[in-house]
Amino acid sequence: MAQKSSKGRIFPLILAAILLVIDQITKAWVVKAIPLGTKAWSWGGDFFYLTHQRNTGVAFSVGDALPLPVRSVLFLAVPLLVLIVLGIFYWRDKSLHGIQRWALALILGGGTGNLIDRAFRPHGVVDFLSFKFYGLFGLERWPTFNIADSMVVVGVGLLILSFLVARKPK
């Protein structure tokens, strides 16, 4: 069922804003407490650890070798435009179902969190969560990530799920 009330539009944004604040607080803590390139705390041997890494690219460090002016346009201006368009769509489209609205709110919050890093942290987006991946897909460790990345991934997953569930069988 589509959410037409402003309450149905605001609650997902409130959660996204809270997670965005947590994302920024954890990144600030990592920058202050963990020297760049080092591990600080682990759990389960080396299954999980906190680390301080910087990513000047996007997911999986794609594009980190591009010249700074190109990265500035691709990874700052384009995401900003996408977030503005998604935000307008989020607020104006009254046909969005609950899960779709929650998904878009998570994508908006996570995208904003990483955009803040790209705009105000000259050495790149702060990543700090590292998990062992046991060689799956050829990866010994999953690429280091942050809370904003998690918000985007969960949001995209929920959006895909909403479309799969909404598809009507023939």
For the annotated catalytic residues, the residue numbers are 127, 149
Tokens 């010249």 correspond to what residue?
67
Dihedrals phi, psi of 46, to nearest 5 degrees: -110, 25
User: Quick one: tokens of 152?
Assistant: 């985007």
Q: How many Å from the N-terminal Cα to the C-terminal Cα in the chain?
A: 21
Return d(Cα 59, Cα 127) in angstroms, integer: 11
Cβ 44 vs Cβ 133: under 8 Å: no
Strand partners, 48: 43, 131
Expressed in percent and rounded to 5, the helix, strand and coil fractions of the chain are: 60, 15, 25
Cβ 53 vs Cβ 127: under 8 Å: yes
User: Quick one: tokens of 29?
Assistant: 């803590």
